Structure formats: structure tokens, C-alpha cells
Amino acid sequence: MKKLLVSVFALFLSIGMFAQETKSFPTLPENVSVKTLDGKTVQTSTFNNDGKPYILSFWATWCKPCLRELNTIKEVYEDWQEETGVKIIAVSIDDARGASRVKPLVNGSGWDYEVYIDQNQDLKRAMNVVNVPHTFIINGKGEVVWQHTSFVEGSEEELIELVRKVMNGEDISESK
Amino acid sequence: MKKLLLTLSAVMLAIQLSAQTLGGGQVTGNFQIDAQFSRQDSAIGAEDVPQKMLSNVFANLLYTNGGFSAGIRFESYLDPILGFNSQYKGAGIANKFMSYQNDMFEITAGNFYDQYGSGLIFRSYEDRNLGLDNAMMGVNVKFRPVDGIIIKSMVGKQRYYWDYGKGLVRGIDGEFSLNSLIKNFEESKTRITLGAGFVSKYEEDQTILSSVEGYKLNLPLNVGAGAFRMDLAHGNWGLQAEYAIKSQDPNALNNYIYKNGNALFVSASYSQKGLGINLQAKRIDNMGFKSERTSTGEMLYINYIPAMSKQHTYALMALYPAITQVNGEMGIQADVTYSIKKGTWLGGKYGTTLKMNYSQIMSIDKQPLEGYTTIDQKGTDGYTSDFFKVGDELYYQDFNVEVSKKLSKKSKLALTYAYIAFNPIMENEHGDIHYNNVVVADYTYKMNSKNVLRGELQWLKSNIEYFDDDKRSGDWLMALVEWNFTSAFFLSVSDQYNYNGSKEHYYNVSVGYTHNTTRLQIGYGKQRRGLLCIGGVCREVPASNGLMVSLTSSF
């Protein structure tokens, strides 16, 4: 009888452990190498915003909607940072044709984002990005809580609204 | 009963524990489905599609668990949509790999993509939308013994549609960040990265006859290519250079000449907030490097030589794109981005952005060898070339300016002008150089926070009269109107009109719906024959008339 109880208890325990699995988000790939605008190789594990959420946006110098997205956000970025402390990490997928134009374009356009070059598209593949622009919101734990492709003027307001929700600990995975 | 329960719970516990020690891992992926229905239209050169429906599908599945990852890609082309090589026909697992990495090592077995430096001697690459894929099948190892050193080595064969190329490709590359390696240099404002790589191709002997009858060419079974590169950054300044050489490599691209190849690429830039300048120069001499010596076409390239010009995205500006001449070209490019500050006379209330770009690509100097009257004689060294002498032939020239300005809280305007000279020899066609003037106005109007209208007007004026072989010749007008309801829905209507030429209208109506990362797009209309360029790469697309449905998603 005792044994039976023990085994039933063990069964319940193991079932309980299965059931415990709460909703989990994929995490940002950790060991993918990208380059800074100064040519330094860094691992994606260094991506962070001191425990606050950040926006990860894939773009390219030849992608018009991407440039529109980053230029539109530029105008409100200071306000966003002041209010939420959010940071934008912009990853260029330009190959050798455009890669050397990335830094002059970033500075010439006056973007204050953290910019990396993913020339071999390793991070693009690891994050299942098919087309650019492709934008992610990563929470303070490094989890990908939301992603979206395409950009149109006005989407930036939806984006910051989602960041606010993430900061309040809300689940936004069902948001469009 | 008791035993059963115990065993059951033990099994479940074991699964649970193993899942925990393995961390469970995560499965992600993406897919794309393209379906095309096209009908015959002799006016634009669209051929009959007896299958009625063509489709391309791919799906990637990626499993990651700590340092371990594995992936497969399913592809099907039943039958391939127009513009994709018919050798793609079929379905199956096209790509598979396993990879493990820790702080020091990364080893990948199976299919992999990688590049050495900018790719002058090695780049394996894919672009599914262009049907380009020269994935390596083999082993790739990366080693980081200390911070600042990355050594890479690989061996494998290249993907050729559903098969692999005959050539065996081996390579090694090292990259050294001096700032990380030299003490007291770490915090320096000057950053120096040096790199060097070597790639070798082995291919079995075969019989290729020289132009002197009866002589079989003595083919090198191993062809080597080496490159040295540096990347220097000092505050606002940057300088990048890469030089590559290639040993004797008689192949179908260079008409089986024995001359060594070389390539030089230099890029200098200066930028500060509001101003960015980039100057580039390159010289390519006999650098077509493929893993099969008889191969022509877009597959089996071991290296990658980018075109040195701006990648245009407006349809009429992209009508005549630059195409890299791997057998020899010299080019320069200058690119400036300048933001005029808000509140100034030119900047207005919101500021203005100016972009200027100039590129010119010429042939290289090629002189016949002693005792020969023409260059590129099969089985010889081909030609001699003065490194610093520019050739006589203009391949491509592009001067373009873009002014973009936010006019009010609701509207934005971008005006672009381009002067593009295009030599048909880049597409292996003969004929006069096309000189084109192109003007584009791009206007965005935000009606409210949800509805955005965008319109484009484009005009291309060419010096070349229309001729039927080249359906893009003559003068063009294009108009496009696009309505976006948030980023979730769009409707666009456009027409390209060859008003001084075939008088043909290429109209198109497209709707798209995006929900997070899932996007459905349906387009109906006529597609002009021409080059489709995405990123830095282009593919020939035949004319079509009909319906195109595309669904992409990632998870």
C-alpha cells in the first residue's frame, strides 16, 4: 500500500512537472557573431538593455521600407528613450556591396541606434528572418516576445505601445 | 499494477529530467509558398504555361538547445515558377545541418553558409527568392583561441540545384583584431583588424581541346586563391582594403586562358552626425572562380564580386542594373548622405536629407600576347594588362541624387533623379550604350494614425529607340498608388507604360495582409521581362501575365 501511494505520488509529481510548463518564448540566439561599425566581432550574447526591453530591427541599405522605418523612429527616438528607456538595435544584412556604406549612411542619417552588420546573414537565418524589415521586441530576460514584418508610417506608434506593455509585464504575444 | 505505475512515473520523470538537463530546446522555423498562374501573352513575350499552376515552396525548421543546433530545409518546385531554372524541378530535403558551439569552438556538419572577408575568394550564399543557392555540403570549423582571433576552416562541395558540383572546395581563414591582442591598445581610438584566407578547389581532369587542333589542355587539377584584408577605423574615419589573387584557372568563363587572376577592393569613409561620405575603388582581373571549370551561369560560384554601384529600388531606376564583369572591370563609387538641420532655411521645420551617389565602371586594359593579334586565345595566357591603365570601354555609369523631406506632420516627399549609362555588353548583348534620365517622385500622406497613402510617379527617358528584342527599350512612365491600413493591410495599383516604344501597359494590382510575421500577398497583372534584383544579386525573370500568390511566415 505504501509503495502504491509512493508510486501514485511519483506519477502525479511527474505529471505536475509536465503541466507546470508555462508559456515559453524563444530566446535570442546567443552565440551568433556580428560586426560593429568599427569592424569588431561581437557575440549576440552581448545584446542587452540593462534588463529593459529593446527593439531589434533587421534592415538593409537597399530596402526602402527599412529606411522609412528607421528614419520615422529617429524623429521620436529621443522621446521614447526618455519615457521608456527602450533601445533600438538595428542589424544590417547588407553584403559586400552595401556593407561599407552602412556606417556613412547611419551617421549621415543621424541615427543614434546601436548598429551591427550581419554580412553573412547568420543572425538573419538563426532568427528565421525571411524578408526585411523584420522587427522584434526582446524583453529584459532576452526572450523574443513579439515580432513583425513590414513597415508603414504609423506602425511606430503601435511599436512603442507594445514596448510600454512589455515594461508593465503584460503578455503581448497575441497583439498584431 | 504498482509496478506499472512505478515504471510509468519513472519513465515520465526520466523524460522530464532529460528534457530539463537538455533545457528542452526550442524549435523555430519559417516557410514561404509562391504560386503562379500565368497565361500566354505574345505582346509582352509571356509564354504558355501548360501546367497552369507553378509553385515554389520552402520550409526551414531549426532546433536549438544551448550550444547545439540542427536544421533542415524542405524545398519543392512543382513545377518551378517562371524565372527559376528548370533543373530545380522536384521536391525534397534540400538542406540539413548539425552544429555545436561553445566559447572557443564551433563545428558545423552538413550544409553551411560562410564567407571569408567580403567574399572575394569565398562566399557560400543563398537567396531563395532569386533561386540562388551555393550552400556548402561538408564541414565548417571556427576556432576562437583567444579574444581577437578567429580561425575558420572548411571542406565541402557546392550545391548545384538538387545535386552537388564536382569540385571539392577547401579553405582556411584567419582574422585578428589587434586591439584585443595587443596590450594598451584595447582602448585606443584606432581599431585595426587584419585577415587572410586561402581557398583551393580540386577537380578531376577532363578533355578540353585547345584551339590548335588535337591538343588536349593540360588542366590544373588544383586551383588556389588567396586574399589579404584590413579594416582600419579611427574615430570618424574608416579604411577597408582587400586584395586577392588566383592561380591558373582555365575555365568556361575566361575561355580557358591560363593567366592568374587578381582583385583589389578599397573603401574609405568619413562620417559624423549628419554627414557620411564613402569612396570606393575596385579592379577585377580574371576572377571568375567556380567549382566546376565548364560551368557558366549563376550557380557554383565559389567567390562573390559585388557590383560597385548603388542598388536602386524604384522600378524604372532598376531597369538597367550594373552587372559584375568577373573577367575584368575597374570601378569607382562615391556616396554622400547629408542631413540638413531642422530650423534652417533649407532644412525647414523637420530637416531635409540629401543623398548623392556616383559610380563609373570601365573595362580593364587588355593587350594581346606577343605573337597574337587577339586576346583570350584558348590555352594561352590570354592577355597582358597594365594594372593602373583604365580600359577604353564604358560598362556603366550612374549619377543620382535624392532629396527627401518631411513637409508636414502628415506628408513626406522624396525626389530622385538619376542619369544611368548602360552598356549591353554586360548582358553579353551587342549594341549602343543606353543613356537614360530617370526622375521619381515618391509622396507619402498619413491621413490618420491608421490610414496611409503613398504614390509614386516615375519617368524614364532613353536615347535608344524601342526594338522588339529588348522589351525594356524606349521611354517609360510609371504610376503607383498604395493604400495602407496600419501595417496589417495594403492595396496597391500600378502601371508601367512603355509610351514611346511598344505602347504596352504593364499594370498590376496587389493586396497584402500581414499578421505578426505571417504575410499573404496576392498580385494580378503583367510582369515585364527583366532582371529581378534583391540585395546585391539579380536574376533574369521572364515575362508573365496572371496571378501570383505568396504566403510567408516565421515562427
Residues in B closer than 8 angstroms to A33, CB to CB, are 150
Residues in A closer than 8 angstroms to B277, CB to CB, are 104, 108
Q: Give the integer Cα–Cα distance in Å for B489 and A94.
A: 27
Report pLDDT for A17.
46
- Tell whether A39 is covered by a domain: yes
Report pLDDT for B498.
95
| A138 pLDDT above the threshold of 90 | yes
Residues in A closer than 8 angstroms to B12, CB to CB, are 11, 14-15, 18
- Cross-strand pairs, B522: B511, B549
Instruction: Check: CB of residue B394 under 8 Å from CB of residue B362.
Output: yes
User: Cell 572546395 sits at which residue?
Assistant: B169
Identity at B438, one-letter amino acid code = V
Can you give the pLDDT of all 555 residues of chain B as single tens digits? 455 555 555 555 554 444 444 567 889 999 999 999 999 998 888 888 999 999 999 999 999 998 899 999 999 999 999 989 999 999 999 999 999 998 899 999 999 999 999 999 999 999 888 888 999 999 999 999 999 999 999 999 999 999 999 999 999 999 999 999 998 888 888 999 999 999 999 999 999 988 777 789 999 999 999 999 999 999 999 999 999 999 999 999 999 999 999 999 999 999 999 999 999 999 999 999 999 999 998 899 999 999 999 989 899 999 999 999 999 999 999 999 999 988 888 888 888 999 999 999 999 999 999 999 999 999 999 999 999 999 999 999 999 999 999 999 999 999 999 999 999 999 888 899 999 999 999 999 999 989 999 999 999 999 998 888 888 899 999 999 999 998 889 999 999 999 999 999 999 999 999 988 899 999 999 988 876 655 445 666 778 899 999 999 998
| A15 pLDDT above the threshold of 60 | no
- Tell whether A59 is covered by a domain: yes
Q: Which cell goes with B202?
A: 580540386
- Tell whether A136 is covered by a domain: yes
| Nearest residue, CB atoms, B486 vs list A31, A146, A154 | A154
CB–CB contact A108 B350 (8 Å):
no
Q: How far is A149 from chain B (nearest CA, A)?
A: 5
Which phi-psi region, left, alpha or beta, contains residue B184 (left: φ > 0; alpha: ψ -120 to 50)?
Answer: left
CB–CB contact A100 B280 (8 Å):
yes
Residues in B closer than 8 angstroms to A61, CB to CB, are 311
CB–CB contact B311 A104 (8 Å):
no
Tell me the three state secondary structure of residue B521: strand
Nearest to B334 by CA among B410, B400, B260, B248: B400
Q: How far is A50 from chain B (nearest CA, A)?
A: 22
Q: Which of A95, A117, A127 would best serve as a mutation to test chain B binding (most B beta carbons within 10 A)?
A: A95
Report pLDDT for A2.
58
Q: How far is B276 from chain A (nearest CA, A)?
A: 4
Q: Give the integer Cα–Cα distance in Å for B480 and B509.
A: 10
Going by pLDDT thresholds of 50, 70 and 90, the confidence category of residue A23 is low
- Tell whether A75 is covered by a domain: yes
Query: DSSP secondary-structure letter at B147?
Result: T
- Tell whether A72 is covered by a domain: yes
Q: Which cell goes with B170?
A: 577547401
Domain that holds residue A113: 25-167
User: Cell 505520488 sits at which residue?
Assistant: A9
Domain count, chain A: 1
Q: Which cell goes with B181?
A: 591582442
Q: Which cell goes with A172?
A: 503581448
Residues in A closer than 8 angstroms to B24, CB to CB, are 24
Query: DSSP secondary-structure letter at A143?
Result: B
Residues in A closer than 8 angstroms to B26, CB to CB, are 24, 26-27
Q: Give the integer Cα–Cα distance in Å for B485 and B493.
A: 15
Report pLDDT for B532.
67
CB–CB contact A107 B272 (8 Å):
yes
Instruction: Check: CB of residue B344 under 8 Å from CB of residue B220.
Output: no
Q: Give the integer Cα–Cα distance in Å for B220 and B217.
A: 9
Residues in A closer than 8 angstroms to B8, CB to CB, are 11
Q: Among all residues of chain B, which has the CA nearest to that of A4?
A: B2
- Tell whether A5 is covered by a domain: no
Query: DSSP secondary-structure letter at B80?
Result: P
C-alpha distance across the termini of chain B, in Å: 43
User: Cell 552581448 sits at which residue?
Assistant: A46
Q: Give the integer Cα–Cα distance in Å for B58 and B92.
A: 10
Report pLDDT for A20.
43
CA-based R_g, chain A, Å: 20
- Tell whether A127 is covered by a domain: yes
Report pLDDT for A174.
67
Tell me the three state secondary structure of residue B294: coil
Q: What beta strand segments (E) does B260-314 contain?
A: 261-272, 275-285
Q: State the complex-level ipTM.
A: 0.90
| Nearest residue, CB atoms, B339 vs list A14, A110, A126 | A110
- Cross-strand pairs, B396: B361, B422
| Nearest residue, CB atoms, A62 vs list B32, B272, B535 | B535
Q: How far is B283 from chain A (nearest CA, A)?
A: 14
- Tell whether A139 is covered by a domain: yes
Instruction: Check: CB of residue A155 under 8 Å from CB of residue A161.
Output: no
Report pLDDT for A149.
87
CB–CB contact B337 A104 (8 Å):
yes
DSSP element (H, E) containing A3: helix A2-20
The domain spanning residue A88 has which CATH number?
3.40.30.10
Report pLDDT for B384.
96
